[in-house]
Structure formats: C-alpha cells, structure tokens
Structure 1
Amino acid sequence: MNPSVVVHGVGDLRVEDRPAPEPAAHEALVAIAYGGVCGSDLHYVSHGAAGESVLRAPMVLGHEVVGVVERAAADGSGPAAGTPVAVHPAGTLDPHAPHPPGRPNLSPAGTYLGSAARVPHTDGAFTGRFAVAAEKLRVVPEGLPLRTAAVAEPAAVAWHAVARAGDVTGRRVLVVGCGPIGLLVVAVLRRAGAGEVVVTDLHASAVERALALGADRGIVATDGEAIAAVRADVGFESSGSPRGFASAVAGLGPAATLVLVGLLPPGDVAVPMARAITAELDIRGSFRFVDEMGEVLGALADGSLRVDGVVTHEFAVVDAVEAFAVAADATASGKVLLRW
C-alpha cells in the first residue's frame, strides 16, 4: 500500500493507493511518517488554485514532510537507510538560471513539491513512499521526535521572514494573523530576542494559541483603535489578506519595517499606501526560504525554538478529507498533521 493524498479539482480530495516509486541513482526512498497541511494545500482543494498556480490535472499534495530513509541513494550520496529526515521541498529546472546571489528561492526556474505552478504539475510528498534527491534530505537530530520535526518546513518560512526584518532584539513587534505561520513567527521572534510581541487575529482562539506560545499581548483584529495604538517597530503580515495588510500598516510606528509573509491574492490589492509613504515604512517581501531548515532542526532539537501548541490535530492519512476540513477551520485548529 502506498496511500497518497490527491486533489482532482475543487472540493475533490481523494486518498489513493499509488504505485511506490523506483528511485533514480541519486534519489533515496523515504518512508513518510508525518506531513503538515499547508494553506496552499487547502487552497488547491477549496479554490482549485494557490495564488496564480492553477490546478489543471490531478496532483499529489504536500511539501511539509518528515520520515525515515528506507533505501539510501544508489550512488552513495545522502544519509543511510534508517536515518530520520526532513525533506527540503524546493528544486529547480535549471541550476544556472539567473537569480540574486544566495537567493535561489527567487529563481524563475524554481520548483516546489505539491505545486501547480508548472505543467506538468510537481507532485507533492503526501504519499507513503517518496523518491527524492538525496541532497534534499536534512537529517533530523538525534532525540528530536519526527512529530516535532514535522514543523521544520513552515518554521523555516518563519525563520526566513524574521531574518528579512533584520535585528529584532528588544524591538516591539506586531504579528498580524495567528495561523500556523504567524504562530511560528512568534516562536522565532521569542528565540531571536524580540521585546514586546503583539499579535492580532480575527479569531480569539488563534490569539490564545499565540499567547500560549509566548506572545505578550493579543488584540482581536476588529479593534482598529487598539491596533493603531501599538506603533510597532517591526510588523509581520501573515494572514495573506488585504485587510491584514491594512492592519499591519496601521499598527506600525514611523520608520518601521513591515515583512509580508502571507501570500496575498493575485491581481491588484487596495492597501493604505499613503500611510506607508508618509510614515516611511520599509516594506519587504518574504518568499519561502533558502536553506534554513538545518538551523531550524537544530533549534528544535536544543529546545531554543519552542513550538508547543502549534500542532493542534493529527489524523491518519486515510482520514485526510476530515483532516483538511479541520485545517480549513481557523477557529478550531492550528497546524494539522497527517500520519502514515
């Protein structure tokens, strides 16, 4: 059996038994243990697209996965059989494609597991046995449970975003959106020595999760006055909504830095740019990550990155449809894991 989570179209998610792959010489065969349901996975099921990536054929979902090497790469590269690993989901169609130095995440030739950005689509790793280039495997440190390591990929997204803000030591920070990425931004900020961390979300339950993780103060997103009074030095927009963008701009003080982590809808978005201009805000994008997964795994292992409470639910892969329904309800869940 090789149970795989496949989206066929809007509202059409299935668990199928697909043939186990035969790895190439440079690939390892990984027995997947856990996979985290990401917002992009949810968008493919609910809208048939994630941003500008439109689903045109059935696709295996999933890019937040950990497991154990079942068969090492035949060419001798990568970790040995029996090694617990996390999978780096990024790849490239052309390693020589031009991109800013040290920033392959911005390459126009980039690929990502479980993405419909290209045709044919790039299948993901929500499957029992997964063949992957050995160079994409990151060894999970001894003593770190795979269930905890399962958040390494989204935590790397948060790690990258916090790095994009520069030094946050002692600074007042506003985090807009307390979904899984927002929660992990809070966790990384605490490790990075941020001063006061203020969070806001439409849902009180999400704010409570952020407070339990280490945020100092929470504001319900409908309280515009309270958000405007924060006057943060640094902001992170992780809701991926125009309203969240507007809240982030409103909640920052003059000369503050705003990092956009949440992926806004494609096309034109109305935002309060006049305020951004007159306050001389420094607005920066943050897209996925480069190779921060190794640092994240180390920080999870040594306990300096606390992620208690980020994972709220775990489902067997056969219950993937239910898992996706729970993950789509922001009032009920944080990060939802599938278990193989």
Structure 2
Amino acid sequence: MTVLPMGRAVMVLGAGRLSTQDFPDVSPGAGDAVVDVSYGGVCGSDVHYWQRGEVGESVLADPMVLGHEVVGTVRTAAADGSGPAAGTPVAVHPAQTCGECPRCREGRDNLCPHLRYLGSAARRPHTHGGFAERLLVPGHRLVPVPAGLPLRTAALAEPASVARHALTRMTALAGGVRGRHVLVTGAGPIGLLVVALAHLEGAAAVTVTDLHPQPLAVARRVGATGTLTAGEPLPQVDVAFESSGAPVAVATALGALLPGGTLVQVGQLPGDGVAGPWHLTVPRELTFAGSSRFAGGMAETLATIAAHPALFAPIVSAEYTVDEAEEALAVASRPERSSKVLLRFGTP
C-alpha cells in the first residue's frame, strides 16, 4: 500500500499553479497507520514542480500533492503491529521500493528500479506527496522521533538522511572526513546538513562556499570553520561535497582537490551535461562519485539530530501555514533569504 493524503492537501496543478484540495478519509488496512501531519519541509523539487512543472526528466502530467519531508503523530496505529503505537511522533519514510531486486538485496534500495518517492512525477500515475493534514501510511514506513526532539527540528530527518548518505559514500570511497579538510560548495539545506554532519564526524576543517552571505552565516553556526563567497580563491582540500548542482561549482570543487582527493556530487546537475576540468582526474588520481537520496532507514539520522538539536535547529529558517503555501514556496526559492522552509499543518 502506498501513502495516501487525507484532508486538506497542497497540490501543484501545473507550472505556476498551486492549490489546496480536500481528500476523503480512507479506511486503513491491517498494515496501515494514520498520521496527523505536523510539518512538511519544502524541498527544491517542490519549488521546481511549482515554478516549471518539472524536475529534470520528471514532468508533471497531472495534478499532484507535493512534499516528501514529513513528520507528525500517529493517530491510528497499524492493526498488525507493523508500526509505532498511537500517539508516537514519527517521520515518514518517503520511498516505496520492491525489496526484491538486486539493488534492494544489496542494501542499496535508493537505486531500486521500481522506486516511488513521495511527491514525484517520475512515474505515471504520479506519486502523491505528504503535504496533507493526514496521511494513510504503511506502518513499516514510520520512524519514531526520539523523545524530546521538537518536530520542527525533526522535520530535517529526510534531507539530513540525504546528507548522511553522502558522507557514507565518502567513507566507502575515501575513508571518511575525520581529520581532513572538507569543502562544501553550496550552503542550501543539504549543504548545511553536510557541514553539520562533517563537523560531528571530526573533520579538521570545513570550508563552505555560496553566492549569498545569509546561508554562509548559517554555515558558520552549524560547524563551518571557514566561509567564502563563490568565486573567491579556495584552499586545497582533501575531500569535497558539491551540493549546489551548479556546473561551475563542480569545476571549482575539482580544482580545489589535492592529489588523491574525492568529490561526492549531491546536488542535481543539469540534464544536458556538465563541462569541467576533468583532465585533472588523471594526474591527480581524483575520484568523482554521485550520491542519490539515501539507503536504509532514518532512525540513525534522527538519533544524531536528537543528540545535537541546537546544532541542527538553525537550518530551519521559517514556517508557514497551509494557507500561506504559495508564499512558503516563493521564500524557499530564494536562497539568499532562507534555508529550510516548513509548512505547518494543524497545531504546532
């Protein structure tokens, strides 16, 4: 069973067209829970569907409920005991996978060819997202939020899991970030979460670049030891994470790597390809690798956030009501004035 929106939901109808619609309540099956949604984080993909009607190769063909960064409280527990009890604060895992293909069996379910992600137009019918008052959710896709962690901060669970997966990729490829000089290009929400996690993992230094002063100021609050405006000369670094998705940032990151360095690409790059100083990869023996979404659950990520809530809280920059959804997406589209923007459902 997939996730189904219930109650009032935020929908994108086409490029530049946002609306709300009421969805009927659905009786849960034995393995389904009902969640009262508290917060939904606005992702760049939500903004792109609203602005352009597409995200890369995923083109909006029908109206779709947005949102894949969702936290709330279990209203009705799954009758078969497959999920948390009623009253439990939870994060909703956004991915539906087959569990049977070679990638799923390897523990790389983020690469499942049958994957469906909340709020995605990659397949038709589209997969409705979680920007709704209530959700019908398979119980096994609910991850309990640690006691004492505010749901406003727990709303970072999905993007923080994406950032954590990028660091896991770096560990597999290059031994991790501990004791190393790390470069992060782009101080959007994912970049900021990479900064915080690299700081916690013992990076010797974390240098962050961005076009705007406000996200760089947030970067300093969450663990950056140095910040630079894009275009300024960079130090030579051991490893780099490119989170902006800008082709020029890829070139910048490659040029900053010391011999033997590794670049993990987290930001979505343009579909028509990227030109850059790829000639450097041979004499310097550089490694370039992608990082897509995240594999496994979110429990470890939530535990990390709960252990350091003051470090992660500054990444949430604003929250808006459902009635202010269009304003929320507009603010989220302006990185010079926002980091992670939340939609609030119900009572905080």
| TM-score, reference length from structure 1 | 0.95
**Distance in 1 between the 2:309 and 2:147 partners?**
16
Matched with 1:45 is 50
CA contact (8 A) 2:183 2:207 kept: yes
1:98 matched to 2:91? The reply is no
Which string of whole-angstrom CA distances, capped at 9 and with x for unpartnered residues, describes residues 199-230 of structure 1? 0011122111111212011111122xx12xx1
The corresponding residue for 1:15 is 20
State the match for 2:216 in structure 1: 207
Q: CA deviation at 1:19?
A: 2.0
Q: Which residue in the other structure is 2:143 paired with? A: 138
Are positions 1:307 and 2:305 aligned together?
no
Aligned to 1:143, the other structure's residue is in SS state coil
Q: Determine if the alignment matches structure 1 residue 147 to structure 2 residue 152.
A: yes
The answer on 1:5 being equivalent to 2:14 is: no
* Secondary structure in structure 1 of the residue aligned to 2:313: coil
Mapped pair 1:108 → 2:113: yes
Contact 1:237 1:261 in 2 (8 A): yes
Rounded Cα–Cα distance in structure 2 between residues aligned with 1:240 and 1:24: 41
3-state DSSP class of the match of 1:309?
helix
Is 2:40 aligned against 1:35? yes
Does residue 220 (structure 1) correspond to residue 229 (structure 2)? The answer is yes
Q: Does 1:160 align with 2:169?
A: no
Q: CA deviation at 1:143?
A: 0.9
Corresponding residue of 2:258: 253
Q: Distance in 1 between matches of 2:103 and 2:310?
A: 31
Tell me the TM-score normalized by structure 2.
Answer: 0.93
CA change 1:243–1:20 in 2 (3 A) is farther
Q: Is the 8 A contact 2:221 2:311 kept in 1?
A: no
**Counterpart in the other structure of 1:191:** 200
> Which letter does structure 2 place at the counterpart of 1:291?
G
SS of corresponding position for 1:207: helix
Equivalent-residue separation in structure 2 for 1:187 and 1:59 (angstroms): 33
Secondary structure, counterpart of 1:102 in structure 2: coil
**Does 1:285 find its partner at 2:294?**
no
Structure 1 residue 292: deviation in Å? 4.5
Q: Please give the alpha-carbon distance, in whole angstroms, between the structure 1 residues aligned to 2:277 and 2:49.
A: 29
- Measured on the aligned residues, the alpha-carbon RMSD in Å equals 1.4
Rounded to whole Å, the distance in 1 between the matches of 2:31 and 2:179 is 45
- The residue number in structure 1 matching 2:268 is 263
Letter in 2 for 1:179: G
Aligned residue pairs total: 335
Q: 3-state SS of the aligned residue for 1:25? A: coil
For residues 96 and 277 of structure 2, the distance between their equivalents in structure 1, rounded to whole angstroms, comes to 36
SS in 1 for 2:20: strand
Instruction: Find the counterpart in structure 1 of residue 278 from structure 2.
Output: 273
Q: CA deviation at 1:308?
A: 2.8
Out of 175, 185, 188, the position equivalent to 1:176 is 185
Distance 1:339 1:149 in 2: 13
More divergent stretch after superposition (18-27 vs 130-139): 18-27
Rounded to whole Å, the distance in 2 between the matches of 1:250 and 1:86 is 38
Instruction: From 57, 72, 90, give the equivalent of 1:85.
Output: 90
SS at match of 2:280: helix
Q: Take 1:261 and 1:312, find their aligned partners in 2: how far apart are those partners?
A: 21
Provide structure 2 residue ranges, at least 5 long, that are not aligned to the other structure.
Answer: 1-5
Cα deviation code 1:90-147 (max 9, x no counterpart): 112x322232711111111111111111000010000001011100000111111111
